[in-house]
Amino acid sequence: MKKLPAILISFSTSALFMVLSFLPNAISAQQDSLKGFVLFPKPLNVGEFHSSLGLSLTIIPRLIVEEGILQLPMLDARARFGISDEFYLSGRANIVYVTNQISIGAGWSYSYKNFSLSVSDHFGYWFGFADFQGFDAKSMGLANYPTITLGVALNGLNVTLSGEALITLSQHTYFGAASVGRFSPEYVGYAVTLAVEEELWEKNYFLFGARFQYSLPMYQTWLAFSTSYRWALFPEFFIGYEL
């Protein structure tokens, strides 16, 4: 019975993003010609909604995680919604039950010819569950991600390069009835992401890329219970289909 609330949280979050992702197709077929801007920082029209669904995998360094811990790919849902000619809302959900994160934020974007720029800020709520083989632990926390993004459109390719600061705000871990936590904002590192959005065939757009996070251990490593608190490189690879 203890697993039920955790499963519902993960399932309902995934379902919400999937439902929201299909709304544009139900509203208008005109979105097909406007795809390719889930990550690309080009301004959106008011009410314009772009989304994608795919997978991502973060590789945890050996100095933090033991060989016996399986690193699983995560469901990766992303969305962006235009609220004015220059401002937008955006969000991302990474779900795999053991470790999950939902981030929501807002940004400003600007374009000049083939070049686009955006400045944004996102807050992430992460949570994880480990209730198996007599082991009962869960963890949750908050993080902040100020981001600047540059994009260039090249012959059908939308290439995006972004840099973000990583700031942890709080973290709480529970072991049965016992718990340990802290609320202490701390700059813990930065990340650089390179992504491409491309129409691989008619009206079918894909995004793929890599994110390189250089930081102290963050939410991805909570289950490792590592005593290593050192800076390390966390590569992440992702692919998605734009809905």
**Residue with tokens 């569950």, as numbered in its chain:** 129
- Number of domains observed in the structure of the chain: 1
pLDDT for position 136: 83
Cα–Cα distance measured from residue 100 to residue 219, given in angstroms and rounded to the nearest whole number: 9
pLDDT for position 154: 92
Q: What are phi and psi of 9, to 5 degrees?
A: -60, -50
pLDDT tens sequence for the chain (243 residues): 344 444 444 444 444 444 444 444 433 433 444 567 899 999 999 999 999 999 999 998 877 766 545 678 999 999 999 999 999 999 999 999 889 999 999 999 999 999 999 999 999 999 998 887 777 889 999 999 999 999 999 988 999 999 999 999 999 988 877 888 888 899 999 999 999 999 988 889 999 999 999 999 888 888 776 666 789 999 999 999 999
Beta bridge partners of residue 149, listed in sequence order: 118, 162
Both tokens of 37, joined, read 């801007």
User: What H or E segment, with its residue span, contains residue 22?
Assistant: helix 3-27
Are 165 and 146 contacting, i.e. CB atoms less than 8 angstroms apart? yes
pLDDT for position 2: 41
Cα–Cα distance measured from residue 217 to residue 209, given in angstroms and rounded to the nearest whole number: 22
Residue type present at position 86: E
Q: Assign residue 210 the CATH number of its domain.
A: 2.40.128
Are 156 and 199 contacting, i.e. CB atoms less than 8 angstroms apart? yes
Q: The pTM is what?
A: 0.82
User: What H or E segment, with its residue span, contains residue 43?
Assistant: none
Expressed as residue numbers, the domain containing 218 is 3-242
Residue 1's CB is within 10 A of a number of other CB atoms, namely 4
Residue 90 Cα distances to 137, 145, 149, 227, angstroms:
31, 12, 13, 35
